[in-house]
Amino acid sequence: MGRGEREAVARGGRLCEAAHAVVADHARAVDAVRAALEPICEDLAQRELDAIPVARLRDVTEGRLRLGEVEKGGFRTVREVLDAGPYRLRQIPGVGQQTAAQTVAAARQIAEAVRDTVAVHIDVDRPEPRITALVAALHVLVEAGPDARRAVDAAAALVERLGPLVTEARPASGRLRMLIAGQSRRERALAAVVEIRRLTAEAEQHGVPELLAQASVDLLRGPASDIAALVDFELRSAEYYSLLAEISGRRPDPAASEGFLPDDVAERVRAQTLDDTHRRVSLRGYQAFGARFTLAQRRVILGDEMGLGKTIQAIAALAHLAAEGQSHFMVVCPASVLINWTREIDKRSTLRAMPLHGPDRHEAFADWKGRGGVGVTTFDALRGFPVPGGGELGMLVVDEAHYVKNPQARRSMTVTEWAEHCDRVVFLTGTPMENRVSEFRNLVAVLQPGLADAIGDRAGVAGSKAFRKAVAPAYLRRNQQDVLTELPALQHTDEWEELSPSDEDAYREAVGAGNFMAMRRAAYARPEKSAKLNRLREIVAEAAENGLKVVVFSQFRDVLGVVKDALGESRDAVDGALFGPLSGSVPPVRRQQLVDEFAAAPGHAVLLAQIEAGGVGLNMQAASVVVICEPQIKPTVEHQAVARTHRMGQVRSVRVHRLLATGGVDERMVRMLENKARLFDAYARRSAVAESTPDAVDVSDVALARRIVEEEQARLGTGGHEEPAGSQ
């Protein structure tokens, strides 16, 4: 028995204690969420039970329960029955012990079902104390992130494996203990020391002690304030709701979240592991299943409805393959979303994103070939790159895959050639496929030719469930209403676009003239080559495919005019009515009429609105998609406009797309506004004064405009007369 053994036991003991602490800290954080959630859910359940008539108790007993005397006794709702209990019911003339017991038992059965299905909606615009407490409790776990989850999993494994060994090795921690221990006990202690050394060395090699230490700090750190937690919820509500669903156990129907796949396919997907080592965000249950589907089935179409996170599911699959040792991946997408892909990869994972686009794309491709990472390129640029050899590419991801539905198109042939040299291929499209069987067959032919041959022309006519069963090995689609158990969430997406050459020319002219407002709308000055307008068309087209209504906001009437012309040209190709523009010059009564007509229009429709005219006093909750054509100088204006759609009465999630151009006025505005005192704005925005006078808390238009104009003139080497910030 020597110092080495004593030190080994001590190190093992310290590591085991740290693991115990992390498990306990995580359990306390989860218990805090449950404690905050319980009274909210109970209140929601009681309200719902108060709205269920006593007559519904007959349904539970298949009509056998006699409730006439109970109803005559003045009991109107299930909640009143529960509050009364069997004793009070027996006091009603004609109600015996058996009827009273059966009535209360039926009421309890309904109450249990209601408690299992109530959904909590977090309204940050009207946060009452219990909701605020819930968000603050959730904030601890959301802020700790996936690293904390990994730490807890590692800690639990260490406690299970290391705990008994530390106990077994206790005699080896001192000479006297070893002396008084029997021969068998000493041998077991020394064997335990050997195993402790191995486990602690393995843990240290993988950075587990540091992971545990950081997790303990994160799990014990609360939000700076309730306001900080509420603001953070606004920025990443999906992560909060995902965690809430997990802890509460109120998850969507498993069959729906698994896309109603046949049992054999679903079981294979469930058995697929998903490594999160290179991922920076947690996944919702259906998203984890989608990532597993792409891995288990290898060559597939992920066709989730817009807003469900197809991008993060693809990134999760790439991160898993990177953890398995794959080094090279390729994402092919329209130019309009290339920047968004690179930003999402950087934000959501530790993978290296490499844009392979523009004049230096061949040098970038050579760098990607040598160093690896996720290459992100366009359909057109892909044609100029050499096709990789077999096994060289870990996964090929094709976004907006309906772009390659025509097998005779050059882009389709290029993608097909790349797919033939890659074992794993994922096509992403939010366009439903049931009614486009021929197009769907063309996509499947690239992925699984044998399956494509088996899909008949009438496959979609048989109904969506029959269609999905037929194509299950290659196609997974989930709808929002099937997998989002909470009430509508608000999802923000910044759509970063690279200006086209003609956009750049218009922008330079505006900068040279010192015209701030012209700089802000330069991206629409030449519609035929507008990058933002092209992306807007894509967003509206996808919304049309899914039957969703869209509101398009801009500060500028001329921008709305350009948008109207552009969308008007495509109305023949995309069914749906076009309303507006709704501007300050439209009388208030007519504004409301436009909104009512928009809401009453069947299926897809688009409403164009000037942001300050449409963002005040009008309820547009018929819309599920919001497009903001340019960043706003006053954040409160944008917030109020979005609030017109995302409010009580909205029955779907609201997806907000803010169109932004890189490298110019948009990027500078976003950066400056993000650097403001965010918490102060959040507090002020929720006050009555802020709602009525948003100017009171916003930055000065003139000061911000002058600063941006000067910086852009310096960057571009232009100069000239500076026009007033308010120029239209």
Walk along the chain (728 residues) in steps of 10 and give the mean pLDDT of each run.
Answer: 78 93 95 94 91 86 80 91 92 90 91 83 78 93 89 93 88 65 78 91 92 92 85 78 82 81 93 93 89 97 86 97 97 87 92 94 96 96 92 94 91 96 94 71 92 69 62 88 66 89 94 93 94 94 90 94 88 68 82 84 91 65 89 77 63 83 91 55 36 38 80 82 48
- How far, in Å, CA of 710 to CA of 650, rounded? 43
Identical topology for domains 253-483 and 490-716: yes
pLDDT, residue 692, reads 36
User: Mind spelling out the 3-state secondary structure of 144-200?
Assistant: HHHHHHHHHHHHHHHHHHHHHHHHHCHHHHCHHHHHHCCHHHHHHHHHHHHHHHHHH
Residue type, 272: Q
For residues 493 and 311, is the Cβ–Cβ distance under 8 A? Answer: no
Q: Which CATH number fits domain 490-716: 3.40.50.300, 3.40.1110.10, 3.40.47.10, 3.40.50.20?
A: 3.40.50.300
For 127, residues 6+ apart whose C-beta sits below 8 A from its C-beta are 135, 226, 230, 686
Question: What's the pLDDT score for residue 181?
Answer: 65
The pLDDT, as a whole number, for residue 693 is: 35
Q: What is the pLDDT of residue 251?
A: 66
pLDDT at 694: 36
Domain boundaries, the chain: 1-250, 253-483, 490-716
Q: Angle of helix 78-90 relative to helix 3-50, nearest 10 degrees?
A: 80
Residue pair 312/399 in contact (Cβ under 8 Å)? The answer is no
What is the fold of 253-483?
A: Rossmann fold (3.40.50)
**How far, in Å, are 37, 373, 391, 474 from residue 319 at the CA level?**
33, 10, 17, 21
Amino acid 682: pLDDT: 40
Beta carbons of 414 and 382 less than 8 angstroms apart: yes
What's residue 456's pLDDT? 65
Would the pTM of this model clear 0.75, i.e. be above it? no
Strand partners, 608: 552
Rounded Cα gap, residues 666 and 645, in angstroms: 24
